[in-house]
Each structure stands twice: as structure tokens, then as C-alpha cells.
């Protein structure tokens, strides 16, 4: 699976969370030479804003995401940085 296909799979699976904002970034080039990158696994960062995260802890938000995409780890996703917010929250 190409990194573009992986990003599309992440986006499709996270659609159930009804994101108001979803930004998936392929950071694989920043990890060239890393063992995971050598094995073809991609490094991704995602920022997601969803009403479904309101009132949830960061741990609960991450679990909601990983419940939907966890089977993609460790391949084709080697690493996934998650930034999950409810509307009105901002990255710090």
C-alpha cells in the first residue's frame, strides 16, 4: 500500500468520527533511514477536530481513533502522532 493509499485509508476510517477538521500528514521523509521507514512503514501525523471528543480525555480520544485504525499499525503505519480536539479547543 502506498503512503497516499494509507492516508486515504486513515481518512476513510476516521470519517465515522464526523470530523470538522481532519489533516493527515505523511511525515515519512523526515524519518528516512529509520528502521520503520526502511521496512516500508509510514510515519503519519493527524490533527482531528470532532464534536464527538467533547468531554473526553486525551486518552479516550486516542482510543477512539486507534479503535478505528489500530490494525494498520505497525504496517502500513509505523508511527502515528495524534492531535485530537473538540471544537473550540486549540493546539498548545
3-43+53-84 CATH fold: GMP Synthetase; Chain A, domain 3 (3.30.300)
Nearest to 68 by CA among 28, 27, 22, 29: 22
Helix (H) or strand (E) run with residue 85 in it = strand 77-85
| pLDDT tens track, the chain, 92 positions | 687 889 999 999 999 999 999 999 998 877 566 554 555 568 999 999 999 999 999 999 999 999 999 999 988 998 999 999 999 997 65
Distance (Å, rounded) from C-alpha 4 to C-alpha 52? 26
**Where do the structural domains in the chain lie, given as residue ranges?**
3-43+53-84
Amino acid at each position: 500500500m502506498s503512503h497516499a493509499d494509507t492516508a486515504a485509508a486513515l481518512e476513510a476510517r476516521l470519517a465515522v468520527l464526523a470530523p470538522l477538521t481532519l489533516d493527515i500528514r505523511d511525515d515519512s521523509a523526515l524519518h528516512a533511514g529509520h528502521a520503520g521507514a526502511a521496512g516500508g512503514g509510514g510515519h503519519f501525523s493527524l490533527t482531528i477536530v470532532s464534536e464527538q471528543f467533547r468531554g473526553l480525555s486525551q486518552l479516550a480520544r486516542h482510543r477512539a481513533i486507534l479503535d478505528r485504525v489500530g490494525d494498520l499499525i505497525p504496517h502500513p503505519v509505523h508511527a502515528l502522532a495524534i492531535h485530537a480536539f473538540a471544537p473550540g479547543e486549540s493546539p498548545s
